[in-house]
Amino acid sequence: MLFPTIDFGLFFAFALWLVWSLNSRNLLKKWVLLALSLAFYASWDWRFLLLLFASGAISYLVGLRVGQEAGARRPWRKAVLALGIALDLGILGYFKYLDFFIAQALTLAHAFGLNPPLEFVSVTLPVAISFLTFHAISYIVDVYRGRLRASRSPLDILLYISFFPHLVAGPIVRAHEFLPQLASPRRAEDFGLSENMLLILGGLFKKMVIANYLAVQFVDPVFTDPTQVSRFDLVMAVYAYAIQIYADFSAYTDIAIGVAALLGYRFPQNFNQPYRALGPGDFWRRWHMTLSTWLRDYLYIPLGGNRHGALMTVRNLMLTMVLGGLWHGANWTFLIWGTLHGVALVVDHAYRHSAFCARFGRTRPAMALDWFVTLQLVCVGWLFFRSPSLDVATQYLAGIWTDNGAASTMPGVVWPLLAAGVFTHIIPPDSRLRLGEWLDARGLSAQIGFGAVAMYVIIVMAPSASAPFIYFQF
Amino acid sequence: MPPLARRLFAIYAILAITVFAFPGGLTSWLDDRNRTGWLDAPLAAMRAVDAASAAIGVKAVGERLRTQFRSAIGDDED
């Protein structure tokens, strides 16, 4: 059930009425929210529900065992935590990485003339398995660290992991942000209607218009066979993909945040004009912010962060980014993407601590260069990220390096789509909030009029069918 | 009107206007899923909405704008 579909529109219309009608009966409302979330997940494949239940059970039981309640003795806390994380990662590894590692082992074995009796497991990758794992691990680790009390309610834990707005592609919501919101009935007036309506409408526009057309009209054909495409088109397709993936992924999380808010639940921000970043470090403070902070809090800092000297900092940055790359999928292209960002962060870290940066780093030319270099680096990363295989990425780079003499076939519509992507980065970050307040102040008819006109424009411009969100596969 | 009622009214009004402007999508959606007749009632209601939208010309305007836009953008192959 994709967000920009009639299926989800009907589901949301039903859920909105049901959830608010039960608002004063909080326990019943939570059961209903859980049932809705399970139905949402089961719309892909009901067998995936077993995964949700397993993940919820692990989190609940481990959470109870590793909690730091005052006066309570909890022997083996660390071992139980390690077991919980291992189980969560084991599920992820089985579904997502086992075939990849079997393939690598077989390749290596064949190179040495061996033929081990290894067979591929060939299981269907469950939707959202990575996001499930992130939520589950963050809960048990936060409980272990004493940042939050272990929940006594299996319902709350299962609802935290499976809540349908964030279930499939985030944003990654921390348990300490979400669980307290389940404790009492919600107040509709705590969430601006127009602001969240704009978030959803903006998300629909980014996905249905910008991302869909860029993908279908230009990016997908170029990446299908880069050897037949002109050098100009190859370069432009990388920039187009940068806009496409931003429009696609930020659209999903914008809609998720807006839908959750209309139901009365607050999610964290996930994007902040990432292509305005001045440096790779800044990019990761603006791109998929909830993943960046997750990797920082549950991987980089536990590894030692920057507390043990320059060499260990380099190691920790590289490990974090390589694993972050691998999280996206079992493919060498993601590994290279993560490694590239790891190296960039290491260089960025050294630059930020240099005397040169202290003296010239805040000057306009240095900041302009910072922005330009960061954008190019991010786009080179996207080339690997988008390529279906390392071979295609190599062909792509070779095509940029050596002109094949082909004429450009880039459709003219790409220019306004790129301009729309750029526009999302040059408008003031608080413009949605301001427009929302302006609409709220004008009353119900303005809200309805604006919302209806915006929906009309989006449907007029939308293609007949929407491609799945890019991050569904992760 | 209480804040919650205003909010719900606004959201459902936007959805209703959208369905009225483009009734074809939901009608087809219901039709596709009505193999055993369990959606006869909502389908009949949607056909009435579709007819009303067509009668006052709203449906035709939406369809024409969609066709023109897709033709302009080069996405009119289907």
Q: Which of A213, A460, A466 to substitute to test the interface with B, most B CBs within 10 Å?
A: A460
Contact A323/A299 with Cβ under 8 angstroms? Answer: yes
Show the tokens assigned to A307: 């507390």
Last residue of a domain, one of A158, A186, A214: A186
A452, B4: Cβ pair inside 8 Å? no
Other C-beta atoms lying within 10 Å of the C-beta of residue A181: 16
CA distance A230 to chain B (A): 21
Q: Where are the domains of chain B?
A: 3-73
Q: Judge if A44 and A95 occupy the same domain.
A: yes
**Mind giving me the DSSP string for A250-272?**
HHHHHHHHHHHHHTT-------S
User: What is residue A420's predicted lDDT score, i.e. its pLDDT?
Assistant: 92
Shared domain check, A99 and A212: no
C-alpha A217, offset from chain centre: 24
Q: Does some domain include residue A454? A: no
The answer to whether position A344 is within a domain reads yes
Do A235 and A320 lie in one domain? The reply is yes
CB-side exposure of A182: number of CA atoms within 13 Å?
A: 25
Annotated catalytic, A328?
Answer: yes
- Same domain for A200 and A143: no
Q: Which pLDDT belongs to residue B78?
A: 47
H-assigned helices in A361-430: 364-386, 390-401, 414-426
pLDDT in tens, A190-237: 788 889 999 999 999 999 999 999 998 899 999 998 888 999 999 999
CA dist list (Å): A353 to A6, A46, A60, A298: 52, 52, 43, 24
Tokens 């082992």: give the residue.
Answer: A105
Phi, psi dihedral angles at A23 (to 5 degrees): -60, -35
pLDDT tens-digit profile, chain B (78 residues):
788 888 899 999 999 999 999 998 899 999 989 888 888 899 999 999 999 999 999 898 988 998 888 888 776 554
Q: Minimal Cα–Cα distance from B2 to chain A, Å?
A: 10
Q: Are residues A327 and A265 in the same domain?
A: yes
For residue A413, the SS3 value is: coil
> Which chain A residues contact residue B18 at CB under 8 A?
452, 455-456, 459
Minimal CA separation from A319 to chain B, in Å: 44
Domain boundary among A160, A186, A212: A186
CB pairs under 8 A between A and B: 72
pLDDT attached to residue A407: 84
Same domain for A201 and A168?
Answer: no
- φ, ψ of residue A39 in degrees (nearest 5): -65, -40
Q: How far apart are CA A272 and CA A284, in angstroms?
A: 10
A224 and A179 in one domain? Answer: no
Inside any domain, residue A371: yes
Residues A33-48 pLDDT 10s: 999 999 999 988 888 8
Give residue A98's domain range.
6-186
For residue A303, is it within any domain? yes
Which candidate from B12, B18, B65 shows the least CB-CB separation from A455? B18
Flag whether A434 is in a domain.
no
Indicate whether A132 and A209 sit together in one domain: no
| A255 and A282 part of one domain | yes
Could you tell me which residues come within 8 angstroms of residue A161 by beta carbon, excluding any fewer than 6 positions away? A52, A55, A56, A59, A132, A135, A136, A139
Asked if residue A173 and residue A87 are part of one domain, the reply reads yes
Q: Which of A186, A418, A448, A458 to mutate to test the interface with B (most CBs of B within 10 A)?
A: A448
Q: Which residues contact A185 (CB under 8 A, 6 or more apart)?
A: A23, A24, A26, A29
Answer whether A20 sits within 8 Å of B8, measured CB to CB. yes
User: Angle at the Cα of A42 (from A41 to A44), degrees rounded to 5?
Assistant: 85
Rounded to whole angstroms, the Cα distance separating A466 from A462 reads 8
Domain end marker among A186, A206, A226: A186
- Residue A308 and residue A276 in contact, taking contact as beta carbons nearer than 8 Å: no
Q: Flag whether A69 is in a domain.
A: yes
- On whether the CB atoms of residues A210 and A419 are closer than 8 A, the answer is no
CA A230 to chain CA mean position, Å: 32
**Are A314 and A204 in a shared domain?**
yes
Query: Between chains, do B18 and A461 touch, taking CB under 8 Å as contact?
Result: no
In sequence order, what DSSP letters do the residues of A304-351 get, joined into one string?
Answer: TTTSS-HHHHHHHHHHHHHHHHHHT-SSHHHHHHHHHHHHHHHHHHHH
Tell me which of A135, A166, A288, A328 is the catalytic residue.
A328
* Chain B touched by A179 (CB under 8 Å): no
A325: left (phi over 0), alpha (psi -120 to 50) or beta: alpha
Which is nearest to A153 in space by CA: A32, A21, A59, A240?
Answer: A59
Q: How many domains does chain A have?
A: 2
Residues of chain A under the 70 pLDDT cut:
68-74, 465-467, 472-474
- Burial (CB count within 10 angstroms: exposed 0-12, middle 13-18, buried 19+), residue A79: exposed
Question: Do A302 and A344 share a domain, yes or no?
Answer: yes
Q: How many CB atoms lie within 10 A of CB A126?
A: 21
